[in-house]
Amino acid sequence: MKEKLISKKKPFYPISENLNAYLKHFSRWVYTPIFYEDLLRFSGSVVVYDENEKDSLWVRVYYSDTERKEIDFNLKKVYALLHSDGNESSMPYLSIDAIDYCTFGNSKPFRIKVRNVLNDNFTYFYVKKTDASRVYGIEFEHMLSPHNLNFLINDSTLIEEHIAGIPGDVFIEKYLAKCTPAQQAQIAKEYVKFNERCMIRLLGDMRAYNYVVIPIHDFDQVVYKIRAIDFDQQSFEGKLMVYRPQFFKENFPMISVVKEKLSESSITQYKVEERSILAKRIQNSGTRLDKLLKIMITDEVSIPENVKKLSKEIYKFTKDDAFKRSNSMGGIMQASFAYVLRNYESLNMTNLINSRP
């Protein structure tokens, strides 16, 4: 039997004292007026179906009349904390249109739909259980990806902003084949870069439903970006393949497009480009990334056998002794970023020497 890439359900890890201080320093920590456990007190639910009458794996929950009034008010407060630093002036114009609960996956989040009653614009945010490894994942994404991320957290509850886009599985099923050859080539390029970025920063489980594809209109063309939306599997698993999206069967249609549209030299070029961009972001992160890594080195966000297995696998891949010496997931992350920086600096020195007259 073929071994599963992800073998065990990941536990939730508490926030350590040092990580708590870091989150407070960077204004991530907040005492919300409502907690994840409060939302679990729903009195019933109905299945949410998609446009094709297929079970979406979300259920719309409802509460008693007395509880619903308080919950709605507190969720509006959370929205104000997330988007306007607690300014409540917009609260009279907000409506909590729906509270959905996901029955699938590890984090089992609540999805809150917030509508502005003046213009009917709406957005979402998510309420989840606190998990230290997810916090590291979001912070790495915030610093090292092309996208900033907004979230709030305390000892029991994590509030995440919504990341807009077409879910990867929906895009693959409905849109990928309809894209022009030029668009497919551009998607292939973005997927190679996304794959490389996930591997370097050890973001695992990027199956198609854990990232979104974002179409952007640029003059007379549409370009596509790929963005992670789930950070539950940050630096937990011991198999390097888990951190390489290309190995999940759900992503095989994307890999087929990559193989069809890109030559090996182009794939190598895009990988080098992404490593160089990551190296620049590491350099430009200042002391924030260093502080986070120092905390993560002493933190527990995985099990010892996973740390041991992953350090050995990456050592075989890179031949860098720093990975073999790592005894925590934070140590492996630090070694990964150092490896990227050394290769970037070496490449720059080679280019400088080759450019001399």
Using one digit for the tens of pLDDT, what is the confidence trace for 140-198? 999 999 888 999 999 999 999 999 999 999 999 999 999 999 999 999 999 999 999 99
pLDDT in tens, 318-340: 999 999 999 999 999 999 999 99
What value does the mean pLDDT take over residues 43-71? 91
Same domain, 228 and 117: no
| pLDDT of amino acid 48 | 93
Closest CA to 19 of 128, 131, 108: 131
Q: Tell me the three state secondary structure of residue 64.
A: coil
Same domain, 263 and 172: yes
pLDDT at 27 over 60: yes
Q: Which helix (H) or strand (E) holds 334?
A: helix 329-355
Same domain, 155 and 170: no
| pLDDT of amino acid 7 | 62
Same domain, 219 and 152: no
What value does the mean pLDDT take over residues 240-255? 97
pLDDT at 227 over 50: yes
| pLDDT of amino acid 181 | 96
- The range of the structural domain enclosing residue 63 comes to 17-161
Asked if the structure places residue 81 within a domain, the reply is yes
Same domain, 157 and 177: no
Final residue before a domain boundary, out of 100, 135, 161: 161
Asked if the structure places residue 316 within a domain, the reply is yes
Final residue before a domain boundary, out of 161, 192, 207: 161
Residue 285 tokens, joined: 């992160």
pLDDT in tens, 201-211: 999 999 999 99
Residue indicated by tokens 């109905």: 46
| pLDDT of amino acid 9 | 81
Same domain, 220 and 97: no
| pLDDT of amino acid 146 | 87
CB-based contacts of 301: which residues, under 8 Å, 6+ apart?
Answer: 13, 132, 133, 136, 234, 235, 236, 329, 330
| pLDDT of amino acid 3 | 53
Same domain, 180 and 320: yes
In the chain, how many domains are there? 2
- Work out the pLDDT band at 4, boundaries 50, 70, 90: low
Asked if the structure places residue 7 within a domain, the reply is no
